[in-house]
């Protein structure tokens, strides 16, 4: 049986029917295009014809990135830099799928991530933009002042579970860590839990509390005298958290993280902070990165308690 709606259309005549059909597909295509999410990018326009740079990723870098974005408005008022956090893994994934111009990361990209980017048609380019000292922190009332990386590894894998075993009180150790999407979590896993050995497969103890942000770690630590955590030096408030001095091994000196010891590499948990772009940056993205690496951009790094590439404070 012929559909009566179809029959009605065909009764209009072949010419008018084809015209209606073509109009239908044009309208449908327009609706589909208008519903597609707009990708970020240097070419995207904001209000008033301004240009937008989408910047996303590391929570360690987010405060510096926000400060850079705000200061850059005075340098290039026509450029808006939109900054969001979410973790290094989130930023890198967004760069790979083409929704951001710059990914912030507190760790280097993994081989698998580089391969994904190349499969999507580009080589990710790494830009070192600052240096960070990863500070190990405890409650101010905790009597422990020094720990080796081996002791930290034993604590975070659950081999040491009482503060008394490392010179503290007879109290259980409460382990705090960033969540797994965090570049800081990955760095701590590789350099502390696994002690820098690619052959070590140790993981965090199951009782480790995973926190979504630096604020989560410091908030829990301030209220719990048995807790231990780690954070970028720029996020530590010495008035509310005690910074532990760290030694590579039991036979080496214990070093307190500072701008000077991180810049010199003396502090064992110093690391680079990165921005990644899809290929060599051009246009306003290149201009922005050049400004970040300039004395003006690096001065902001120092102001926020991180380590500038210039070595100046």
- CA nearest to 129, candidates 313, 294, 261: 294
pLDDT at 23: 39
- Residue 148 clears pLDDT 50, i.e. is over it: yes
Alpha-carbon span 290 to 307, nearest angstrom? 18
Report the C-alpha gap between 72 and 149 in whole angstroms.
39
pLDDT at 28 over 90: no
**Homologous superfamily of 132-270:** Periplasmic binding protein-like II (3.40.190.10)
pLDDT greater than 50 at residue 54: yes
Q: Where are the domains of the chain?
A: 47-130+272-303, 132-270
Q: Is the pLDDT of residue 9 over 60?
A: no
How would residue 24 be classed by pLDDT, with cut points 50, 70 and 90? very low
Mean pLDDT lowest for which of 48-57, 104-113, 136-145, 274-283? 48-57
Percent of the chain predicted with pLDDT > 90: 78
**Residue 179 pLDDT greater than 70, yes or no:** yes
Region 68-83: mean pLDDT is 97
Confidence category of residue 49, pLDDT binned at 50, 70, 90: low
Does residue 138 carry a pLDDT above 80?
A: yes
Whole-number pLDDT of residue 282:
97
More confidently predicted of 202 and 5: 202
Asked if residue 225 lies in contact with residue 142, where contact means CB atoms within 8 angstroms, the answer is yes
Give yes or no for residue 47 having a pLDDT over 80: no
Whether the predicted model's global pTM rises above the 0.85 cut: no
pLDDT in tens, 232-246: 998 899 999 999 999
- Length, in residues, of the chain: 313
Mean pLDDT over each residue of the chain, to the nearest integer: 87
Q: SS3 letters for the chain?
A: CCCHHHHHHHCCCHHHHHHHHHHHHHHHHHHHHHHCCCCCCCCCECHHHCEEEEEEECHHHHHHHHHHHHHHHHHCCCEEEEEECCCHHHHHHHHHCCCCCEEEECCCCCHHHHHHHHHCCCCEEEEEEEEEEEEEEECCCCCCCEEEHHHHHHHHHCCCCEHHHHCCCCCECEEEEECCCCHHHHHHHHHHHCCCCCCCCCCCCCCCEEECCHHHHHHHHHHCCCEEEEEEHHHCCCCCCEECEEECCCCCCCECCCHHHHHHCCCCCEEEEEEEEECCCCHHHHHHHHHHCCHHHHHHHHHCCCECCCCCC
Fold of 47-130+272-303: D-Maltodextrin-Binding Protein; domain 2 (3.40.190)
């Amino acid at each position: 049986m012929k559909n009566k709606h179809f029959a009605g259309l065909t009764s209009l005549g072949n010419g008018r029917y084809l015209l209606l059909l073509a109009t239908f597909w044009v309208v449908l295509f327009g609706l589909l295009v208008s519903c597609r999410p707009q990708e970020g990018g240097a070419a995207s326009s904001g209000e008033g014809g301004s240009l937008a740079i989408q910047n996303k990723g590391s929570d360690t870098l987010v405060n510096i990135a926000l400060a850079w974005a705000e200061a850059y408005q005075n340098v290039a008022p026509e450029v808006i830099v939109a900054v969001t956090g979410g973790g290094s893994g989130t930023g890198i994934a967004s760069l790979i799928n083409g929704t951001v111009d710059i990914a912030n990361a507190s760790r280097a990209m993994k081989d698998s991530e580089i391969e994904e980017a190349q499969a999507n048609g580009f080589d990710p380019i790494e830009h070192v933009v600052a240096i960070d000292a990863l500070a190990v922190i405890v409650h101010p009332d905790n009597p422990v002042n020094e720990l080796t990386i081996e002791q930290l590894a034993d604590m975070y894998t659950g081999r040491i579970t009482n503060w008394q075993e490392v010179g503290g009180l007879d109290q259980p150790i409460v382990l705090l860590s960033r969540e797994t999407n965090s570049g800081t979590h990955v760095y701590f896993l590789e350099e502390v839990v696994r002690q820098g050995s690619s052959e070590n497969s140790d993981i965090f103890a199951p009782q480790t509390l995973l926190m979504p942000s630096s604020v989560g770690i410091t908030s829990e630590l301030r209220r719990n005298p048995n807790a231990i955590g780690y954070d970028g030096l720029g996020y530590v408030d010495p008035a509310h958290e005690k910074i532990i001095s760290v030694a590579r091994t039991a036979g080496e000196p214990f070093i307190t993280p500072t701008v000077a010891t991180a810049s010199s590499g003396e502090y064992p948990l110093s690391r680079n902070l990165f921005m990644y772009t899809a290929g060599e940056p051009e246009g306003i993205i290149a201009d922005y990165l050049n400004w970040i690496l300039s004395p003006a951009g690096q001065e902001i790094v120092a102001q926020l308690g991180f380590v500038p590439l210039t070595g100046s404070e």
